[in-house]
Amino acid sequence: MAESWYTMRDEVFADGLRGRVPRLPADPALLEEAARQYLPAGLFSFVAGGAGGGRTVAANRAAFDRWELTPRMMPAARPLRLRTELWGTGMSAPVVLAPIGLAGLAHPDGEAAAARVARDLGLAMTLSNSSSLSLEEVAGAAPGAGLWFQLHPPKDEELGASMVRRAEKAGYQAIVVTVDSWARGWRPADLDHGYDPFLRGQGMGTFLADPLFRRSLPADLAVGSEPWLAAAAARWREVFGHPGLSYAYFDRLREATGLPVLIKGVLHPDDAEQAIAHGVSGVVVSNHGGRQLDRSTAALDALPAVVRQVAGRVPVLFDSGVRSGADVAVALGLGADAVLLGRPWLYGLAIDGAEGVRHVLRCVLAELELTMLMSGAATVGDLRHMVAPAPGRADER
Ligand SMILES: Cc1cc2nc3c(=O)[nH]c(=O)nc-3n(C[C@H](O)[C@H](O)[C@H](O)COP(=O)(O)O)c2cc1C
Ligand SMILES: O=C(O)C(=O)c1ccccc1
């Protein structure tokens, strides 16, 4: 076995013995509760919350309950094969950190800590274009990490192209274009808190380091001063979101970069088809963790039809609602080539910086490994034969 994350169970157990459980629980629901203690109320509900009445956030989780594994016993010893390569990024398991903007609000070490942990565990990380640290700082903090760069296409397409060129120069290996967030979702909790995380200048590292963005800021204000940051946040609101976007955007973007371009935020098979027709190298099935459109379908429910439509032409990735190694196994079993983990890594970061991120990832990886061993699955392909609808549930849809 190339990796043995299951031994990490012993580390988690030892931490439990030392009384660390309340701080860094292995139970994902308790992890969210623990993170609540470390974050100001407005920030916690920004992170944990979702669009509208939270129906899609809940549906993302409920969807996992409609699938189960039928394990096979006494498998002849076969080495577990989790090592994966996607677009030249090698990873020790098909688990990727999802782009989470504003990580610097959760912990001063921000995205740099997460990138180092991902690198040390052999996982890839997707950096948000709304990162607190600039994309160059994150790449510099974790040399050798497998990094992808996520782009919310700004209204100013030159600015988007400029950030993509910087990412390519800094060694990022893929561009992930998010298409479900051209406007911020209707998030009642944030509205009620009057919560705007950008007001503190966090989440702007990559923007502020961009010559095109900086050039648009007032020259008469001291750089870094409060009014300067306020002007930067206002400028960010001006450029954020590109309502007029069509699939032809992918053709233009591919002119600006030689990197593989992925689309993130697909639920309908026809969108996957169109994106492939416009040359994308991969599709991320996601509803943005239920943060954008309440009542959009649970991401896991959307996965099988997209996998069928794509039919192996490009890799299909998945996120939204993944909380455990067993969840990862189900998504892989339903045809995902890799799975992105969102809120949990940010919770780990909020609680204990790099150590917290490491804790969260080792729990997911250890449980994934154990789930595969106990199912008799040596490969992701084996999992595809083991995932089945839970009786009377998946069939009802
Ligand atoms: C606080 C927060 C910030 C996020 N920022 C971004 C972002 O900047 N870009 C992006 O594409 N997705 C962003 N996402 C969405 C995640 O990449 C991912 O799709 C989602 O969190 C997956 O759902 P999960 O949290 O249930 O795992 C963000 C999610 C959260 C919770
Ligand atoms: O809140 C989000 O879901 C999100 O995608 C985002 C976008 C920009 C900055 C921070 C978060």
Ligand 2 in contact with 203 (CB < 6 A)? yes
> Residue range 365-369: average pLDDT?
95
**CATH fold label, 5-396:** TIM Barrel (3.20.20)
Say how many Å lie between the CA of residue 23 and the centre of ligand 1.
23
Say how many Å lie between the CA of residue 70 and the centre of ligand 1.
31
Binding residues for glyoxylate: 187, 288, 291
The set of residues, in sequence order, having a beta carbon less than 8 Å from that of 2 and lying 6+ positions away, is 79, 80, 81, 82, 83, 92
Give the model's pLDDT for residue 153: 97
pLDDT surpasses 60 at 186: yes
| Segment (H or E) for 31 | helix 28-38
Give the model's pLDDT for residue 198: 76
Instruction: Measure the CA–CA gap between 175 and 257, rounded to whole angstroms.
Output: 9
Weakest mean pLDDT among 10-14, 132-136, 256-260: 10-14
Higher pLDDT, 6 or 328: 328
Higher pLDDT, 76 or 41: 41
pLDDT surpasses 80 at 200: no
Q: What is the pLDDT of residues 151-183, one digit of tens each?
A: 999 999 999 999 999 999 999 999 999 999 999
- Kindly identify the ligand whose nearest atom is closest to the C-alpha of 343: 1
Instruction: Measure the CA–CA gap between 322 and 48, rounded to whole angstroms.
Output: 13
Say how many Å lie between the CA of residue 54 and the centre of ligand 1.
15
Ligand 1 in contact with 342 (CB < 6 A)? yes
CB-count exposure of residue 289 (10 Å: 0-12, 13-18, 19+): buried
Confidence band for 23, pLDDT divided at 50, 70 and 90: confident
> Residue range 69-81: average pLDDT?
87
Work out the percent of the chain whose per-residue pLDDT is above 90.
85
Instruction: Measure the CA–CA gap between 84 and 244, rounded to whole angstroms.
Output: 36
Ligand 2 in contact with 291 (CB < 6 A)? yes
Higher pLDDT, 174 or 199: 174
pLDDT surpasses 90 at 13: no
Give the model's pLDDT for residue 1: 38
In the chain, where the domains are located: 5-396
- Kindly identify the ligand whose nearest atom is closest to the C-alpha of 197: 2
Give the model's pLDDT for residue 11: 81
Q: What is the pLDDT of residues 109-136, one digit of tens each?
A: 999 999 999 999 999 999 999 999 999 9
Catalytic residue among 107, 152, 278, 288: 288
pLDDT surpasses 60 at 395: no
Ligand 2 in contact with 130 (CB < 6 A)? yes
Annotated catalytic residue 359: no
Confidence band for 6, pLDDT divided at 50, 70 and 90: confident
> Residue range 38-58: average pLDDT?
96
> Residue range 284-292: average pLDDT?
98
Give the model's pLDDT for residue 393: 63
Nearest to 116 by CA among 90, 143, 95: 143
Give the model's pLDDT for residue 397: 45
Contact 149, 164 (CB under 8 A): yes
Provide the mean pLDDT of the chain: 94
User: Distance between alpha carbon 52 and the CA centroid of its chain, in Å?
Assistant: 21
Instruction: Measure the CA–CA gap between 184 and 380, rounded to whole angstroms.
Output: 35
Nearest to 298 by CA among 284, 312, 287, 313: 287
> Residue range 336-347: average pLDDT?
98
pLDDT surpasses 50 at 2: no
Helix axis angle, 343-375 to 8-17, nearest 10°: 120
Confidence band for 22, pLDDT divided at 50, 70 and 90: low
Nearest to 212 by CA among 147, 148, 262, 165: 165
Confidence band for 364, pLDDT divided at 50, 70 and 90: very high
> Residue range 275-279: average pLDDT?
98
- Kindly identify the ligand whose nearest atom is closest to the C-alpha of 360: 1
pLDDT surpasses 80 at 330: yes
Query: The whole model's pTM is what?
Result: 0.96
pLDDT surpasses 90 at 137: yes
Neighbours of 352 (CB within 10 A): 20
Give the model's pLDDT for residue 195: 87
Give the model's pLDDT for residue 20: 58
> Residue range 223-229: average pLDDT?
89
Confidence band for 193, pLDDT divided at 50, 70 and 90: confident
Token pair for 87 = 């677009």
Q: What is the pLDDT of residues 232-251, one digit of tens each?
A: 999 999 999 998 899 999 99
Ligand 1 in contact with 206 (CB < 6 A)? no
Confidence band for 21, pLDDT divided at 50, 70 and 90: low
